[in-house]
Structure 1
Amino acid sequence: MTHRANDTGDGSSAFEVLYEDNHLLGIVKPVNIPVQEDASGDMDLLNLLKEDVKVRFNKPGNVFMGLVHRLDRPVGGAMVFAKTSKAASRLSESVRTHSFHKVYLTVVHGMPSSAQGRLTDTLLKDATSNTVTVVRKGTPGGKEAILDYTVLGTSEGFSLLKIDLLTGRSHQIRVQLSSIGCPLYGDQKYGASVNRPGQQIALWSALVGFPHPVSKEQIELISLPPQNYPWNLWPQEMQKQAVH
């Protein structure tokens, strides 16, 4: 049985809570907040959530919050965190065994040559510049990256895509789509020639699915992107149906 989660815990959270019990916390990550501490020194989501849980449940001492997957700083949408070390370990195992399912919505410039397809590339990360490039298979340090995409609609020279992420490489969706000539709307790093500074990247974590670490029930956390430009070029109902 699939549990499409929108249960909330006690008290009111500062975040939009998609699911919460003693083991898990599923939320909508706000855009432009780093998931964990980085060089910017800005407050990060992990510490904000620890404080949020501490206040809501009046917990003494340190609060455990396990990070099992990540979203780039400018990206928003569904995320799950573990509230116990056991849940963190089991969720991490789900990621390793590919029973952790991630679906994204994104708006890209242009349109892929096929209405749907699979992109398989080798990606190499440059930690110094925090950029990723597509390289020849067999390149030392390169990692295989695979995603499936479906074009949901086109408008004003843009395409709305559904992305099923099969591997979780850094900047994967942004790099792979840019490499086929379809950079993401608002992506300054991999589409600077077609985007303007200040535009918000149009990439959203729409669904995160996984077996509950204790009950084994299938959990699906669903979040739809904000209805501003360019997302509002397509009906929200279309976006909703694509991830259900």
Structure 2
Amino acid sequence: MFRPEDILYEDNHLLVVNKHAGDLVQPDPSGESALEDQIKAFLKRRDDKPGEVFLGVVHRIDRPVSGAVLFAKTSKALVRLNEMIRRGEIGKTYWAVTERMPGKTEDTLVHYIVRDGKSNRSRAYDRPVKEGKEARLEYTVLGSGERYHLLGIRLLTGRHHQIRCQLARIGCPIRGDLKYGAARSLPGGGISLHSRTLEFVHPVRREPVRITAPVPAEDRLWVFFEETCGGKND
């Protein structure tokens, strides 16, 4: 559930929230409470706003994923941010904790992803396939613990479950991600994938904006990696 202290950045046009693993960004057919509605209700109370509160979802992250999510508080900002997303002008960096070490300490992964709507999962192929969409990301190994490894990831495309299925394809499933081959689940159903930084030019003020989302404080492994690797690839 959203808490006011989850706000990482706010001005008259934008709002960035540090989402908890397990939270929905937008309402879905389940009818469960979603972050979008929770934030609207909070802004209405806090700012004593009459009528409907405007809040536009600029991008989404999967339910079991934590980290920075960007919202627009004005229609002008939403239109401009959507165009920036389309042009690839909003930089997104993720942190992922994997069960295995990749074969290279850094690399660019290129796969062709096919989404299966019935099972709500995607499959990554090494070569072009029918209905496959090209997926590209860059990763760097930032550190390792006794059993797990921290990767910094820069998304170059935005495909369904892209990071999860691409890392699984190279034999490095994300900690807790049973859907993509992890050995065991995590309490609460989350996975160790975190939207770490957002970087872009403000759509109205035209100033550079860079936001870093702290990792989940209740997870000791995340805290270990933030303490030992926090200055890398942020």
Partners of 1:144 and 1:56 in 2: CA distance: 43
Partners of 1:85 and 1:223 in 2: CA distance: 25
Q: Which residue of 1 aligns with 2:185?
A: 196
How far the C-alpha of 1:127 sits from its partner, in A, is 1.1
Partners of 2:6 and 2:160 in 1: CA distance: 25
After the TM superposition, which residues 152-191 of structure 1 pair with which residues of structure 2 at under 5 Å, given as runs?
152-191=142-181
Partners of 2:64 and 2:128 in 1: CA distance: 31
Amino acid at match of 1:58: D
Partners of 1:238 and 1:232 in 2: CA distance: 9
Amino acid at match of 1:112: P
Please identify which structure carries the higher helix content. 2
In the alignment, is the contact (CA less than 8 A) between 1:206 and 1:243 conserved in 2?
no
In the alignment, is residue 230 of structure 1 matched against residue 221 of structure 2? Answer: yes
- 3-state SS in 2 of match to 1:54: helix
Partners of 1:25 and 1:117 in 2: CA distance: 32
Deviations 1:157-212 (A, max 9, x none): 311110111111111111000000000000021024x1236463111111011111
Partners of 1:25 and 1:224 in 2: CA distance: 16
In the alignment, is the contact (CA less than 8 A) between 1:28 and 1:77 conserved in 2?
yes
| Cα-Cα RMSD | 1.6
Q: Which residue of 2 aligns with 1:49?
A: 39
How far the C-alpha of 1:15 sits from its partner, in A, is 4.3
Segments of structure 1 that go 5 or more residues without pairing to the other structure are: 1-12
Amino acid at match of 2:108: R
CA 1:232–1:28: 2 relative to 1, 3 Å: closer
Segments of structure 2 that go 5 or more residues without pairing to the other structure are: none
Deviations 1:114-169 (A, max 9, x none): 00001011101111111100136442322111110000112223111101111111
Which runs of 4 or more aligned residues in structure 1 lie more than 6 Å from their structure 2 counterparts after TM superposition?
none
- Normalising to structure 1: TM-score of the pair? 0.89
Amino acid at match of 2:117: A
In the alignment, is the contact (CA less than 8 A) between 2:143 and 2:229 conserved in 1?
no
Partners of 2:64 and 2:5 in 1: CA distance: 17
Q: Which residue of 2 aligns with 1:90?
A: 80
After the TM superposition, which residues 96-175 of structure 1 pair with which residues of structure 2 at under 5 Å, given as runs?
96-135=86-125, 137-175=127-165
Amino acid at match of 1:32: G
